[in-house]
Chain A
């Protein structure tokens, strides 16, 4: 118990340091440039306190829960030696963590609005919902596929740059053919899919796998899953745009 408290205090000090730059930037702009009083000072102070506590607890939980479970599962899969189940797990993790991602839901709704305003789909609630849901499923599927490919790469020991650069080439080619309206959203969708809970889990999975397979280096082979998961959505969202909007 005492150890936990000691650790939490350490994390808390870390969180204060992590948040100091944001507070400094906001205060500087508010006081020196915009020169208007801060609205709702009390609310802001409570908010900052919550952010501090939240970050502290999160980092603590990360080291207690998310990292260990990700790694122990990677070791268990490597020991079991069933590639089939490992790949199924990889897909489920990628698909399952993305499909409910709030940032993705917001972006998909926004994209449906763009399509409706541009008169590429009917400007009705139903058409927009259908379009947004289709987009969400597409992105979630592409992230699942990305994790599967990325895990397979770790098993085979392929260098990540060939996959990523190949993906870039595909993105560039598709940009030339995709409808203009979807391009900005497609590029953004790569960044929004990887959430705060997914990143530590997927990282621990990759590093755990690479360190339990002989001949793999956790630094060279363990990282790269997130990169895959940020690349495939761009390709699939553009493909979705080409299929749905033409």
Chain B
């Protein structure tokens, strides 16, 4: 067990190094060949890269040991028609189970909660939230941003699961989403718009993608009439579209609340 763990960890470190190497080559190549200036705190930066490497490796090995197998197993168990029908039907009757979209309640709830909780743990979102907080001088809270993005992902993934269950074409949902984003853009506070757009791409990386992909494929495999190859995709697209809306909504809401508070104050005077 322990030996296996170390081999696994070592392999992941090697894998991560080969992911980081091209990036490091580009950065240091340009630094030395084009910019031609010493990097401030060079040794600190190098140590930072090493921390990132080691951290990412531990993170990935941990995900593979704990979260992915559990998440995938649960996605399978929850989308199993026998479980959804109430668990009392014998295997032989499986083919005759007739499920409507309302029967998948636990799946939607699981999708919502797993979308929310994996987004809270997403390292790239933490990075962007730290930066946004710093740049906005604290006006944008790290937690406010992370929670509103997580709600967006949660809604997106549960809606995406509903879409797989009923089998609607994905593009109508995405196009409708785009229209909402465009309308919100006209009314949202100007400062938040670029950050809101960014939060769409940020949410879906290391933690969310594998778990969500497993859920989508599991659903598409078990819902009658769906093909995993065609219907299994699309959850990630939902998870990157809805945070744009929820972040703009969060900004609009907090602006509205501040304005109302100020209006109240001046009335009281």
Measured CB to CB, the nearest residue on chain B to A28 is: B113
Most chain B C-beta atoms within 10 Å of own C-beta, residue among A168, A218, A219, A229: A219
Contacts A43-B65, A61-B48, A218-B135 known; A197 to B197 CB distance under 8 Å?
Answer: no
CB-CB contacts below 8 Å: B32-63 with A = 34-35, 37, 39-41, 44-63
Measured CB to CB, the nearest residue on chain A to B28 is: A69
Measured CB to CB, the nearest residue on chain A to B47 is: A64
Q: How far is the CA of A57 from the CA of B54 in the complex (A)?
A: 7
Q: How far is the CA of A10 from the CA of B226 in the complex (A)?
A: 47
Chain B nearest CB, measured from A69 CB (Å): 5
Q: How far is the CA of A72 from the CA of B27 in the complex (A)?
A: 11
Q: Which of B37, B61, B135, B202 contacts A226 (CB 8 A)?
A: B202
Assess whether A121 is interfacial by the CB under 8 Å rule: no
B22 touching A96, Cβ below 8 Å: yes
Q: How far is the CA of A22 from the CA of B45 in the complex (A)?
A: 32
B65 touching A57, Cβ below 8 Å: no
Q: How far is the CA of A111 from the CA of B77 in the complex (A)?
A: 26
Most chain B C-beta atoms within 10 Å of own C-beta, residue among A39, A50, A159: A50
Assess whether A80 is interfacial by the CB under 8 Å rule: yes
Please give, as numbers and ranges, the residues of chain A lying within 8 Å of B58 by CB-CB distance. 50-51, 53-54, 57
Q: How far is the CA of A159 from the CA of B52 in the complex (A)?
A: 33
B201 touching A226, Cβ below 8 Å: yes
Chain A nearest CB, measured from B73 CB (Å): 7
A203 touching B198, Cβ below 8 Å: yes
Q: Which of A61, A80, A92, A97 contacts B49 (CB 8 A)?
A: A61
Assess whether B171 is interfacial by the CB under 8 Å rule: yes
Please give, as numbers and ranges, the residues of chain B lying within 8 Å of A103 by CB-CB distance. 205, 209
B61 touching A50, Cβ below 8 Å: yes
A55 touching B124, Cβ below 8 Å: no
B121 touching A29, Cβ below 8 Å: no
B59 touching A51, Cβ below 8 Å: yes
Chain A interface SS verdict (over half)? helix
Contacts A22-B121, A44-B65, A184-B234 known; A161 to B193 CB distance under 8 Å?
Answer: yes
Please give, as numbers and ranges, the residues of chain B lying within 8 Å of A21 by CB-CB distance. 113, 116-117, 120-121
Please give, as numbers and ranges, the residues of chain B lying within 8 Å of A109 by CB-CB distance. none
Chain A nearest CB, measured from B25 CB (Å): 8
Q: How far is the CA of A159 from the CA of B177 in the complex (A)?
A: 21
B66 touching A230, Cβ below 8 Å: no
Assess whether B136 is interfacial by the CB under 8 Å rule: yes
Q: How many A residues touch B, CB cutoff 8 Å?
A: 110
Please give, as numbers and ranges, the residues of chain B lying within 8 Å of A220 by CB-CB distance. 190-191, 193-194
B113 touching A97, Cβ below 8 Å: no
Q: How far is the CA of A229 from the CA of B124 in the complex (A)?
A: 14
Assess whether A125 is interfacial by the CB under 8 Å rule: no
B201 touching A229, Cβ below 8 Å: yes
Measured CB to CB, the nearest residue on chain A to B177 is: A168
Contacts A191-B204, A196-B124, A227-B200 known; A64 to B48 CB distance under 8 Å?
Answer: yes
Contacts A50-B61, A196-B124 known; A69 to B27 CB distance under 8 Å?
Answer: yes
B-contact bits for A83-110, CB 8 A (1 contact / 0 none): 0010001001100110111110000001
Assess whether A223 is interfacial by the CB under 8 Å rule: yes
A-contact bits for B211-232, CB 8 A (1 contact / 0 none): 0000000000000000001111
Q: How far is the CA of A124 from the CA of B141 in the complex (A)?
A: 52
Q: Which of B127, B230, B237 contacts A199 (CB 8 A)?
A: B127
Chain A nearest CB, measured from B239 CB (Å): 6
Please give, as numbers and ranges, the residues of chain B lying within 8 Å of A42 by CB-CB distance. 1
A-contact bits for B66-104, CB 8 A (1 contact / 0 none): 110111011001100001000000000000000000000
A-B contacts, 5 listed (Cβ < 8 Å): A42-B1, A54-B57, A93-B27, A183-B171, A184-B233
Task: Give me 10 other A-B pairs in contact (C-beta within 8 A), A92-B30, A184-B230 excluded.
Answer: A43-B66, A47-B66, A58-B56, A61-B50, A66-B49, A69-B45, A171-B178, A184-B232, A191-B201, A196-B205
Q: Please give me the 10 A-B residue pairs with the lowest Cβ-Cβ distance, nearest first.
A: A65-B48, A47-B66, A54-B59, A61-B51, A50-B62, A57-B55, A47-B65, A64-B48, A54-B58, A58-B55
User: Interface on A for B, CB 8 Å cutoff?
Assistant: 18-19, 21-22, 24-26, 28-30, 33-34, 36, 38-40, 42-69, 72-73, 76-77, 80, 82, 85, 89, 92-93, 96-97, 99-103, 110, 113-114, 117-118, 159-161, 164-165, 168, 171-172, 175, 180-181, 183-185, 187-188, 190-201, 203-204, 207, 211, 218-227, 229-230
